[in-house]
């Protein structure tokens, strides 16, 4: 079986190269070509001897996602539909934000979490993505950009639950932030979870990234209605894990709160949320529900959203109303489906 170099970290690549009788600097060259040169074949690695390039072609694979379709929104958001090796489809979303870009990547084909407001959940889980399939979303999008260096932020908020694919996601993150990998700042990498408590506890010990928690309710009954994961990891255990999560100076945990009319948008809900987050270095992203065919819920009125925000601000929480981008191409929060046609 061929080695999958995009899925290896620096130590694994060096050990693999040593096994072929190569000097350690060859491993560093390989990673520079893959993650900085963004090449798709060994033939493009022009500082390697021709004989070595031919030998590597038989011993390792440079898996490349197949671009099926790119859709461009009126607001400039770009949604990429990729086909992975076994034919499943995944989506990545490139979002323009001022002078830079953020890429929303997928960690699974489909999702098993079954959140009520999420279209991805309707197809169930197909499979986990490998570390190379996660990283290659970044590589292929960056390769297609006119100014690749303007892609500065990566968010694990696409299809799937990142902490349910823990090992591959952490390995991908390490390749994203490694100096001899893609060299993103760990301050610019955010992982969003629906609340898998054991994974949150591991993540804080294994890698430094920003944590975002999809919360969406401040009481167990409502949250279990919206997010079945709450029946396994209720709010008390989730909040305890968040309080224990190691935060570098001046960092906060982001709590994402999708607002649905008459479900979780009342004044009482806002006050409960403020109480729940008390003592946590927290900021809140309010996201008016993106309606789609998978749910009969609808977003609240703008006044209701602003009133909810005002209550949280008065309780001294940084609270941002996140305007969904790419709605006209189904690229907004909760809309990714991984379907074509």
Domains in the chain, number: 2
Say whether both 44 and 161 belong to one domain.
Answer: no
Say whether both 117 and 32 belong to one domain.
Answer: no
Say whether both 77 and 57 belong to one domain.
Answer: no
pLDDT band at 120 (very low <50, low <70, confident <90, very high): confident
* Final residue belonging to a domain, choices 61, 80, 100: 61
207 found inside a domain? yes
Say whether both 123 and 267 belong to one domain.
Answer: yes
pLDDT reported for residue 18:
96
Condensed to tens digits (0 to 9), the pLDDT of residues 242-290 reads 999 999 888 999 999 999 999 999 999 999 999 999 999 999 999 999 8
pLDDT at 325 over 90: no
**63 or 228, which is more confident?**
228
Q: What is this structure's pTM?
A: 0.95
pLDDT at 236 over 90: yes
227 found inside a domain? yes
Q: Calculate the CA dihedral of residues 123, 129, 134, 139 and round it to 10 degrees.
A: -90
Say whether both 132 and 264 belong to one domain.
Answer: yes
pLDDT band at 122 (very low <50, low <70, confident <90, very high): confident
pLDDT reported for residue 98:
85
Residue positions annotated with a catalytic role: 91, 333
How much of the chain, in percent, has pLDDT values that exceed 70?
98
> Average pLDDT, stretch 60-79?
93
- Mean pLDDT, the chain, rounded, equals 94
pLDDT reported for residue 332:
67
CATH number at residue 7: 1.10.150.530
4 burial level (CB within 10 Å; 0-12, 13-18, 19+): middle
pLDDT reported for residue 52:
96
pLDDT reported for residue 294:
64
335 found inside a domain? no
> Average pLDDT, stretch 34-48?
95
pLDDT at 331 over 80: no
Say whether both 9 and 106 belong to one domain.
Answer: no
pLDDT at 293 over 70: no
338 found inside a domain? no
Say whether both 282 and 140 belong to one domain.
Answer: yes
* Final residue belonging to a domain, choices 30, 61, 92: 61
CATH number at residue 110: 3.20.20.70
81 found inside a domain? yes
pLDDT at 112 over 60: yes
Say whether both 99 and 232 belong to one domain.
Answer: yes
Say whether both 240 and 318 belong to one domain.
Answer: yes
Say whether both 46 and 82 belong to one domain.
Answer: no
Condensed to tens digits (0 to 9), the pLDDT of residues 164-175 reads 999 999 999 999
One-letter-per-residue 3-state SS of the chain: CCEEHHHCCHHHHHHHHHHCCCCHHHHHHHHHHHHCCCCCCHHHCCCCCHHHHHHHHHHEECCCCEEEEEEECCCCCEEEEEECCCCCEEEEEEEEECCEEEEECCCEEECCCCCCCCCHHHHCEEEECCHHHHHHHHHHHHHHCCCHHHEEEEEECCCCCHHHHHHHHHHHHHHHHCCCCCCCCHHHEEEEECCCHHHHHHHHHHCCCEEEEECCCCCHHHHHHHCHHHHCCCHHHHHHHHHHCCCCCCCCEEEEEEECCCCCCCHHHHHHHHHHCCCCCEEEEEEECCCCCCCCCCCCCHHHHHHHHHHHHHCCCEEEECCCCCHHHCCCCCCCCCCCC
- Domain hosting 242: range is 66-329
- Residues 6+ away with beta carbon under 8 Å from 232: none
340 found inside a domain? no
């Amino acid at each position: 079986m061929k080695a999958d170099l995009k899925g290896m970290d620096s130590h694994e690549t060096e050990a693999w190269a040593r096994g072929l009788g190569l000097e350690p600097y060859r491993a560093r060259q390989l990673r520079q070509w893959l993650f900085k040169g963004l090449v798709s074949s060994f033939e493009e690695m022009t500082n390697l001897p021709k004989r070595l390039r031919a030998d590597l072609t038989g011993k390792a694979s440079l898996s490349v996602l197949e671009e099926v379709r790119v859709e461009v929104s009126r607001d400039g958001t770009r949604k990429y539909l990729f086909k992975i090796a076994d034919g499943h489809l995944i989506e990545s979303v490139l979002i323009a934000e001022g002078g830079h870009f953020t890429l929303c990547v997928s960690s699974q084909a489909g999702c098993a979490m079954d959140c009520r407001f999420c279209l991805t959940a309707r197809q169930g889980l197909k499979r986990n993505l490998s570390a190379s399939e996660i990283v290659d979303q970044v590589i292929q999008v960056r390769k297609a950009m006119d100014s690749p260096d303007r892609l500065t932020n990566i968010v694990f908020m696409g299809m799937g639950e990142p902490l349910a694919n823990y090992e591959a996601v952490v390995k991908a993150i390490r390749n994203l932030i490694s100096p001899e990998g893609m060299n993103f700042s760990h301050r610019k990498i955010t992982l969003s979870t629906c609340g898998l408590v054991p994974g949150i506890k591991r993540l804080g010990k294994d890698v430094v990234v920003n944590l975002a928690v999809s919360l969406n309710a401040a009481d167990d009954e409502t949250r279990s209605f919206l997010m079945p994961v709450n029946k396994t990891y209720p709010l008390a255990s989730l909040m305890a894990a968040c309080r224990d999560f190691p935060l570098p100076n001046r960092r906060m945990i982001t709590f994402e709160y999708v607002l649905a009319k008459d479900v979780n948008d009342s004044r009482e809900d806002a006050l409960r949320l403020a109480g729940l987050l008390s003592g946590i270095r927290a900021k809140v992203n309010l996201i008016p529900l993106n309606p789609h065919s998978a749910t009969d819920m609808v977003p609240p009125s703008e006044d209701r959203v602003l009133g909810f925000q005002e209550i949280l601000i008065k309780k001294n929480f940084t609270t941002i109303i996140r305007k969904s981008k790419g709605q006209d191409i189904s690229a907004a929060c909760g809309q990714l489906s991984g379907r074509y046609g």
